[in-house]
Amino acid sequence: MSVDNHRGRENPPSRRRPGARMMSARVAACAGIGAGVLLATAAVAGADVPQPTIFTPVSTPAFIIREIAFFVLGITAAIFVLVGGLGVYSMIRFRRPRSDDGAEPPQVYGSRQIELAWTVVPILIVVVLFFVTARYIWGIEHRAQEADALEVTIVGHQWWWEIRYPKLGIVTANELHLPVSDAVRPMPAYLTLESADVIHSFWIPQLAGKMDVIPNKVNRLWVDPRRTGTFVGQCAEYCGLQHGGMLLLVTVHTADDFARWTTEQQASAPDAPAAAAGRELFSSLACISCHTVRGTPANGVFGPDLTHLMSRSTIAAGVIQNTPKTLRAWVEDPESIKPGALMPAMKLSGEEVDKVTAYLLTLK
Ligand code: CUA
């Protein structure tokens, strides 16, 4: 698209050469393929840097998706080779000989065998693909939930993810923490997906397929990450200006680390005396009608729970790293970091911003 726009600026439509549009479409297609290859290469090269990829699954639904993707790719590749091969063979074998007199060759109509073959064979292929896919989907969707399974409720908002652990009494945002689920100690997590506003789509390619997050409808998903690590995801349904700024970070812990994280998150906000002035200022502002800091008057639910804000590595739903500097900039003017973000600038003085930031930095 950008290539097309760029060319459009050079050549207004009225003066465009014929075929320029087709060329730019081709350039765009090549750029798309190039970007895909780059992404795949990056996934292989940067094993440490988390990349959203379907090629290195870590959870059963993602393994199943990769398996079926390769199965479909295998069938379609065989069709491509057969059809392309026959095409190339025909072009070479039946190219125009020097002795050709230019007369029209004999025409063939109505071969029952050929017509049956190209009707029946594709139908069989589609039927096989349909039943194989249906079997896999059934297998994923009808897994029986264990009574003591971990439950997580994820609520899509414009433009961040609310993450609740109802059985554990934890509320956080944008960074999902899960225990590893190995053969010795299976610990699948059951995710309940809800939306507070528009349709979003929850997608962590290494864990499971996309699942729409729809207002007034509850969707479910389960994941069983088999190894520890960090995995990334992204809202996958256009949901407004900051759709692209709605990232997800998943940390998979060992059972002990997950228990430690749980205990830390269950605690109320620490009460640091040094930040008392900032806390008072924060409590006097409209911040508290949108944000919750457990153990304080702040109990709003429109924005992310800030009780353990500093335990999160990013802010603004993964748009920037969570550092004192970026946090200050965010408090001062969210719009400058994430245009369209629904958190307003509170029009604080520089000194007030410093105080509020100093308080937020104590919310470990
Ligand atoms: Cu939320 Cu796209």
Write out pLDDT tens, residues 111-156.
899 899 989 999 999 999 999 999 999 988 888 888 888 999 999 9
Structure confidence at residue 8 (pLDDT): 37
Structure confidence at residue 104 (pLDDT): 86
Token pair, residue 112, equals: 């029952």
Q: How many CB atoms lie within 10 A of CB 205?
A: 23
Q: Average pLDDT for residues 84-89, to the nearest whole number?
A: 97
Write out pLDDT tens, residues 227-264.
999 999 999 999 999 999 999 999 999 999 999 999 99
Q: Who contacts 33 (Cβ-Cβ below 8 Å, separation ≥6)?
A: none
Beta bridge partners of 221: 191
Q: Is 3 a residue whose pLDDT tops 50?
A: no
**Ligand 1 pocket residue status of 318, Cβ below 6 Å:** no
Ligand 1 center from residue 339 Cα (angstroms): 15
**Ligand 1 pocket residue status of 64, Cβ below 6 Å:** no
If one compares 195 and 185, the residue with the highest pLDDT of the two is 195
CB-CB contact of 163 with 176 (8 Å): yes
Structure confidence at residue 48 (pLDDT): 64
**Ligand 1 pocket residue status of 156, Cβ below 6 Å:** yes
Structure confidence at residue 147 (pLDDT): 83
- Classify residue 132 as exposed, middle or buried by CB count within 10 Å of its CB (0-12, 13-18, 19+): middle
Write out pLDDT tens, residues 164-183.
999 999 999 999 999 999 88
Q: Who contacts 100 (Cβ-Cβ below 8 Å, separation ≥6)?
A: none
pLDDT band of 19, cuts 50, 70, 90: very low
**Ligand 1 pocket residue status of 291, Cβ below 6 Å:** no
Structure confidence at residue 18 (pLDDT): 42
State which H helix or E strand residue 195 sits in.
strand 189-195
Structure confidence at residue 2 (pLDDT): 40
How far are the Cα atoms of 67, 78, 119, 288 from residue 116, in angstroms, in the given order? Answer: 31, 20, 5, 71
Cα–Cα nearest to 54, from 201, 208, 174: 208
Structure confidence at residue 22 (pLDDT): 44
If one compares 15 and 259, the residue with the highest pLDDT of the two is 259
Ligand 1 center from residue 157 Cα (angstroms): 8
Token pair, residue 61, equals: 């639904």
Q: Is 87 a residue whose pLDDT tops 80?
A: yes
Q: How many CB atoms lie within 10 A of CB 345?
A: 14
Structure confidence at residue 105 (pLDDT): 81
Beta bridge partners of 356: none
**Ligand 1 pocket residue status of 239, Cβ below 6 Å:** yes
Structure confidence at residue 252 (pLDDT): 96
Long-range contacts of 307-310, Cβ-Cβ distance < 8 Å, separation of 24 or more: 307/171, 307/265, 307/268, 307/269, 307/363, 308/172, 308/264, 308/265, 308/267, 308/269, 308/363, 308/364, 309/360, 309/363, 310/360, 310/361, 310/362, 310/363, 310/364
Write out pLDDT tens, residues 288-330.
999 999 988 888 999 999 999 999 999 999 999 999 999 999 9
Q: How many CB atoms lie within 10 A of CB 143?
A: 14
CA–CA gap between residue 260 and residue 302 (Å, rounded)? 28
Structure confidence at residue 12 (pLDDT): 40
Three-class SS state of 227: coil
CA–CA gap between residue 294 and residue 358 (Å, rounded)? 18
Q: Which ligand 1 atom lies nearest to the CA of residue 159? A: 1
**Ligand 1 pocket residue status of 243, Cβ below 6 Å:** yes
Question: Strand 189-195 vs strand 150-157: parallel, antiparallel, or unpaired?
Answer: parallel
Q: Average pLDDT for residues 337-361, to the nearest whole number?
A: 91
Structure confidence at residue 44 (pLDDT): 46
Place of tokens 């059809």: 83
Structure confidence at residue 271 (pLDDT): 81
